[in-house]
Amino acid sequence: MNAGRPLAGPAAALRRAAGYGAAFRRRARPLHPTATLAQLRSAFCLPLPEAPADGAAVIDALIAAAEPGLVGTTDPNFFAWVIGGSDQVGVAADWLTSIWGQNAGIYQSAPAAAVAEEAVAGWLLELLDLPREASVGLVTGSTMAGFACLAAARGAVLARSGHDFAAGGLQGAPKLHVFLSDDAHASNFAALRFLGFGGANLVRIAPDARGLMPAGALAEAMAARQGPKIVLAQAGHINSGGFEDFVAISALAREHGAWMHVDGAFGLWTRVLPEKTHLATGAELADSWSVDGHKWLQIPYDSGFAIVRDAGAHRAAMDITGGYLSHAPGDGRCPTEFSPELSRRARGFAAWAVLRSLGRQGVREMVRRHCEAASLVAARLAGVPGLEVCGPVDLNQVVLAAARPEAAARINRLAAALNAEGRVFVRPADWRGRRVLRLSLINCKTGPAEAEALAGSIRNAWSQGG
């Protein structure tokens, strides 16, 4: 298509993307995709061109193909899942990350990236008030954060039982039990499977009404089993927003020589709020913590934090060594010691930019605003005939269900009616045998105005039989 004229340089493609990106958040656009699967395939799944193409024209083609299939996850009225809105300062830093093209595997390949990660690690431990000696690995998200932490746990508890995992692997190792709520987040079960644990290794504790693991039931289950143990606790249940009893669970972990891990993907951020700190009391007693950077911090995707009290156990689980991977005594942080990748994105730049832009006050205000917005929605919907707000609203999550089980189909109709208006994006779900509408208020732009409008739309749609 460019025969007879030179192709535009790469700078033209960069300018086109930058111009488009700057305008993207400012203009109104649908929350829901407008293209069908067939239309998206028609736009994307083309024969691979034989000849090079003009870069700016390719960017235009990408925009045209993708826009009809985009979901409004950066919109303040997106409530379907716990998805942050990508802070624009972080987006700008993420663009620079791609432009700089640093491979953040080791210090010598990306010194600035390594030191940015070092700074972020210190800030995170301070904000979350976790042990300052802990190590922090910057990973892709909560699933890999849990994977890294639980890998450290696996090696440490097997060592306490006399088994050298580095030498013998899982072959011949004593049976290891992992204790967790049967209603723990799916990412934890995935991470455990990746680490070689099957159903026989998992002790799934029957949860309470909020999906949480009762400490009494955990105590009985742990007492009934011998050998190495890992306990996985939740800070912020994905539906109820509830927190487990970390003080009691940590005491049980110490009694049994177990490793305690806290899945704190978004809930651990309550520790920045004086009025909410009590929810996560005792979380600091754990051995490791997984946290998502995209959710409440709004860092662009590819952001998670694996935090481990015992940095040695963290390194033993993650470190990648090789004769060509030089690390001099005077070098700074070696990121590959704390994350499961060698060639990887320099994640520290965007995290550093977002944290510096927000500061302590900005983080506190955002977490508080979302918690208050969720409470506002729950208050406005309390007492609506036939509609139930399930459980207390301590965090940013609101779960709605039909008060009568035989009316469960109304939840599907409610979600369909809300989505049909085009002003919000919601999704129904199944939880503990009930059809529910789960609302996550966590976008960086979401506040009381959006909460009021959401509650009003729900009341109106429900009253009309939706």
pLDDT value of position 1: 45
Any domain includes 75: no
The single-letter code of the amino acid at 424 is: V
Any domain includes 424: yes
Is the domain of 406 the same as that of 320? no
pLDDT value of position 415: 96
Any domain includes 80: no
- Rounded average pLDDT over 242-248: 97
pLDDT one-digit tens code per residue, 61-104? 999 999 999 999 999 999 999 999 999 999 999 999 999 999 99
Q: For the chain, what percent of residues have pLDDT higher than 70?
A: 98
**For residue 365, how far is the Cα from the chain centroid?**
20
Task: Return the higher-pLDDT residue of 222 and 432.
Answer: 222
Q: Examine the fold and report which residue of 323, 355, 387 is the final residue of a domain before the chain moves on.
A: 355
Any domain includes 3: no
What are 372's two structure tokens? 């208050």
Is the domain of 213 the same as that of 249? yes
CA 138/CA 304 separation, integer angstroms: 6
- pLDDT of 315 above 80: yes
Check residue 6 and report its DSSP letter: P
DSSP states of 45-58 = -PPPPSS---HHHH
pLDDT one-digit tens code per residue, 41-65? 999 999 999 999 999 999 999 999 9
Any domain includes 83: no
Read off the CATH number of the domain in which 208 is found.
3.40.640.10
Any domain includes 212: yes
Mean pLDDT score of the chain, rounded to an integer? 94
pLDDT value of position 8: 59
Q: Give, in order, the Cα–Cα distances in Å from 346 to each of 96, 101, 123, 307, 341.
A: 10, 8, 17, 18, 11
Place of tokens 């369909």: 416
Is the domain of 151 the same as that of 244? yes
Is the domain of 221 the same as that of 316? yes
Is the domain of 342 the same as that of 371? no
Q: Which residues have CB under 8 Å from 416's CB, separation 6+?
A: 466
- Rounded average pLDDT over 421-439: 94
Is the domain of 422 the same as that of 440? yes
- Rounded average pLDDT over 293-314: 96
Give the containing element (helix H, strand E) for 358.
Answer: helix 348-381
Q: Examine the fold and report which residue of 305, 334, 355 is the final residue of a domain before the chain moves on.
A: 355
Is the domain of 381 the same as that of 449? yes
- Rounded average pLDDT over 31-39: 96
The single-letter code of the amino acid at 320 is: I
Confidence label for 6 from pLDDT (cuts 50, 70 and 90): low
- Rounded average pLDDT over 232-252: 97
Is the domain of 283 the same as that of 430? no
Is the domain of 99 the same as that of 216? yes
Give the containing element (helix H, strand E) for 396.
Answer: none
Closest CA to 397 of 211, 226, 187, 215: 211
Is the domain of 325 the same as that of 188? yes
Is the domain of 365 the same as that of 345? no
- pLDDT of 7 above 60: no
Any domain includes 76: no
pLDDT value of position 465: 78
- Rounded average pLDDT over 254-271: 97
How big, in percent rounded to 5, are the helix, strand and coil portions of the chain?
A: 45, 15, 40
Is the domain of 310 the same as that of 204? yes
Any domain includes 85: no
Question: Phi-psi category of 236—alpha, beta or left, where left has phi over 0 and alpha has psi -120 to 50?
Answer: left
Closest CA to 238 of 187, 179, 290, 203: 187
Number of domains the chain contains: 3
Q: Examine the fold and report which residue of 326, 355, 384 is the final residue of a domain before the chain moves on.
A: 355
* Domain assignment of residue 448, given as a range: 360-463
Read off the CATH number of the domain in which 385 is found.
3.90.1150.10
Task: Return the higher-pLDDT residue of 154 and 23.
Answer: 154
**For residue 32, how far is the Cα from the chain centroid?**
22
